[in-house]
Structure 1
Amino acid sequence: MSDGSHAPKERINITYKAKTNGQNEDVELPLKLMVMAN
C-alpha cells in the first residue's frame, strides 16, 4: 500500500515476503470473505 492510504483497523490484510530476482519485497493481500446463509 502507498504511504498516503491507510486501511481501517477492521480490515485484515495478509502480508508475506516474496523474493523475486534476489530482491525481498513485502506483498500485502486483502482478505476477502463472502459468507452466505440460507
Structure 2
Amino acid sequence: MWYFTWVLGLGLAVGFGILNGIWHEFHLPIEDDLDAPANS
C-alpha cells in the first residue's frame, strides 16, 4: 500500500509544477512583449 503515497505524491508534485509554470507565464513583465514591435 506504500505505492499509493508515491502515486499521490508524484501527482501532486507534477500538478504543482504545471500550475507553477502557468502562473509564471501569466505573471511575466508586459514590457518584454512590447519590445519586439516597437523596434521593428
User: If the TM-score is normalised by the length of the shorter chain, which range does it land in?
Assistant: under 0.3
Higher Cα Rg: structure 1 or 2? 2
Higher helix share: 2
Higher RCO, 1 vs 2 (CA within 8 Å, ≥6 residues apart): 1
Q: TM (normalized to structure 1)?
A: 0.23
Q: TM (normalized to structure 2)?
A: 0.23
Higher strand share: 1
